[in-house]
Structure 1
Amino acid sequence: MPNAGMSTTKLDMLLHQAAAIPAGAAAMVATVTIPPGDPGSGPHRHSGPVFGYMLEGEMLFELEGEEPYPIKAGEAFWEPGGEVVHYQAANLRDDIEAKFVVCMLCAPDVPMLDFLDAEEIAARTHLRHPSAVKG
Structure 2
Amino acid sequence: MSDSDPGPAGPKPRSTAWQTALTMLQEAEPPFIPQGAHVMTVVVEFPPGDPGTPPHRHSGPAFGYVLEGEMLLEVEGEPERVVPAGEAFWEPGGDVIHYQDGNNRDDIPLRFIVTMLCEPGRPMLTLVDEEELARRKDRRAPRPS
Give me the TM-score of the superposition, normalised by structure 2.
Answer: 0.83
Distance in structure 2 (CA, Å) of the matches to 1:27 and 1:10:
22
Q: Distance in 2 between matches of 1:112 and 1:101?
A: 15
Q: Which amino acid aligns with 2:82?
A: P
Q: CA RMSD in A?
A: 2.0
Larger Rg: 2
Does structure 1 retain, via aligned residues, the 8 Å contact 2:30–2:61? no
**Kindly, what percent of the aligned residue pairs are identical?**
52
Question: Does 2:106 correspond to 1:109?
Answer: no
- Alpha-carbon separation, structure 2, partners of 1:105 and 1:5: 33
Match of residue 80 from structure 1: 92
Q: Which aligned runs of 4 or more in structure 1 are off by greater than 6 angstroms? A: 4-8
1:8 CA displacement: 6.4
In 2, Cα distance between equivalents of 1:60 and 1:5: 38
Instruction: Say if 2:33 is the partner of 1:21.
Output: yes
Q: Which amino acid in the other structure matches residue 118 of structure 1?
A: E
Unaligned runs of 5+ in 2: 1-11
Corresponding residue SS for 2:143: helix
Matches within 5 A, 1:1-135: 9-131=21-143
Q: What SS does structure 2 have at the residue aligned with 1:71? A: strand
Determine helix, strand or coil for the equivalent of 1:122. Answer: helix
Task: State the number of aligned residues.
Answer: 132
- CA shift for structure 1 position 78: 0.2
Segments of 5+ residues of structure 1 without an aligned counterpart are none
Letter in 2 for 1:49: P
